[in-house]
Amino acid sequence: MRTPKRPTSERKEYIIVNQDGEAYIGMMYGSLFWSHNWKEAKVLYKENTSRILEHYPKTEIIEL
């Protein structure tokens, strides 16, 4: 009998969006980078979003 495949990840993924509707795409030299192209957004887990949300209060988190 075959064993059922396990899901690769059960954790929810999120992106962060600023007040201008730009998605967070990464960090370089201590600065956050944003893009209007949401396909470039850096996918994060919830525990990896807290620092950005604390320092940039006009951002919001969106579940994928």
Tell me the whole-structure pTM to 2 decimals: 0.78
In this predicted structure, the answer to whether residue 4 has a pLDDT above a threshold of 70 is: no
For residue 3, the 8-state DSSP code is P
| Alpha helices by DSSP H, the chain | 50-55
CA distance 63 to 43: 10
Tell me the C-alpha distance between 59 and 20, whole Å. 9
Assigned token pair, 38: 């949401």
Q: Rounded to an integer, what distance in angstroms lies between the CA atom of residue 58 and that of residue 15?
A: 14
Per-residue model confidence as pLDDT tens digits over 6-44: 555 678 999 999 999 999 999 999 899 999 999 999 999
Quick check: helix, strand or coil at residue 48?
helix
